[in-house]
Amino acid sequence: MHKVFVFGTLKRGFPNHDEGMAGLTCLGFYRTVQAYPLVIAGRWFSPAMMPEPGTGHRVTGELYEADDAALRRLDLIESVHLPTGYHREKIEVVSLDGGLPANAWVYFKDRARIECTHSAYLTEYNDDRYIHKSKRPAA
């Protein structure tokens, strides 16, 4: 089993949760050990955390257990196969309730792949402007 840290639209109550996290066990609320820049980005107002440790803030999200099939599903949702998509890396997170740190997969987006931002650096994603893929105009 793998651990996956989600900080944006895959969290409970957000638009991609049901599609991406169905059947996965939530281990609780966690925060990154290092600071990372988290912004609202692009024309779809997507949350994007950049792989720049030491910049921004410690980011709060949820930690899940996922099997290989779930990781493949998440890779598709996060468009890791596209040049404009996210990529998956391991980072260290710690429970908000205390406890030992855990290594978890997270989906980062490189700064060069972000066309524009709509926020300062955030500690937590709570924005409601995200435009789900089902509501975007046809390409």
Catalytic residues: 78
Q: Distances in Å between the alpha carbon of 5 and those of 83, 114, 136? A: 22, 21, 26
What amino acid is encoded at 15 in this protein? P
Whole-angstrom Cα distance, residue 6 to residue 29?
10
Residue 37 has phi, psi (to 5 degrees) of -80, 120
Whole-angstrom Cα distance, residue 92 to residue 50?
15
Helices (H), the chain: 17-21, 68-77
Whole-angstrom Cα distance, residue 36 to residue 55?
5
Give the alpha-carbon dihedral of 96, 34, 25, 8, to 10 degrees.
100
